[in-house]
Structure 1
Amino acid sequence: MGKRIMPRAALCAAIVAAVPALSACGGVKDQQADVVAGKQLFVKKCGACHTLSHAGTKGTTGPNLDEAFQQSLQEGFGETAVRGVVYKQILYPNRLPNAQGIKMPSKLVSGEDAHDVAAYVASVTAKPGKDTGRLATAVQAAGGGTAVEKDGTLSIPADPNGQLAYEDAKATATAGPVTIEMPNKSGIGHDIVIDGLGKGEVVSDGTSSFKATLEAGKTYTYYCSVPGHRQAGMQGTLTVK
């Protein structure tokens, strides 16, 4: 979908073009969708790049999806039309990379999964409030725990569901040598950094780590240095006893 928000005229044209084409091939009008699964997939596969308020995602690499469709919805385009555009963009994204040289991969999700994601995005984009019912609990919020150092290793996992967060927004450790590691089971690249102490490698489906010596009584901030991730909330506080 690129870095910039699609101009209004181009977005309107895309909406008009997408709906009949998708309907003719068994598209959005006759495809039942699971929006709960769609939310889970969106957070895991798309949330690192896109902001969508209802999903709780704050990615900045791609366009803010609440803003992208706001004007078109105000002008009368319906949910089915927006769903068609999202579905088409998932399968056939813009070919040009954004200002940071990042290009959205095609078919991050496909088949029924693509329909589920498109249906969820279309159902919540640019709408006030929060998800309710099953959607409210579809994705557990990350960052609520506290990581504790054990035997010289402090493990602070990245959220496995693709949220731009560590599982633990707080951590404690004793003074002295320690290995700080970040297991990452998601397919999104993350690292863990403490300024002045060390920096792990950016990994996906792996572990980022570094060795450091902690000072008693100090408080450190750990964060992900991948562009946009810290700004979206991927950081925490380490307290040394």
Structure 2
Amino acid sequence: MKISQRLEKIASMVQSRYDHIWDCCCDHGLLGAKLLDNNSADTVHFVDVVPELMQQVSTKLERFYPSPIGGAKRWQVHCIDVAQLPLANKEQTQLVIIAGVGGELLVELVQAILARNPQHTLEFILCPVHHIFEVRKALATLQLGLIDEHLMEENQRFYEVLHVSTQSQLPIALVGEQMWDITRSIDLRYLQKTLDHYQRIQVGLLQKPNQDEDKNIEITQIINAYKALQPQNCNNTR
């Protein structure tokens, strides 16, 4: 099955084999099916809250990934709130993938999963559709560490894909670090678009009669952090 470049990138970031992978907000199940094809886990879990969608996913999985005679089923379908994820026991390796949702909701889901499973060692691959700076800030506050990160573009939209863990000791940079290669056109265009976004916010704040000074300081700090990534401020391109 043909899947989007974004889902292909997420699948390519699954470098290890897990006992369980949880494909959350799975929509039509294309990413989870790719992970089944790649044999990325003993069990791939398809999770979403829309009953009609999950019934369709279940029907397709029964057709294309039937259980072998005498063998264990390689997938499960869950029509539940992602915040209520029924994780396996803490000794098993587990990857939770959340993509295609807004940054605020994504953070709420990660917070809920961690709060319900404080003893688990967990990895997450996360791809919010916006508010990535706020997502990074929240993940750092939750004491998650970076494994990998990538910047990509699809259908004239930019996406940051973060692979993080409860065990990694590598800090999550608020504006990203590993993903940048300023010799690439995509990086330069994304950086300029991001700077334009925050500079518009800054102008709006300055035009308000009772401007929020703390917010203005925060936005200025964000702008300066992104400006530091511009080519003339970089000693290298990685």
Q: Smaller-chain TM-score range?
A: under 0.3
Higher helix fraction (1 or 2): 2
Pick 1 or 2: higher relative contact order, CA cutoff 8 A, min separation 6.
1
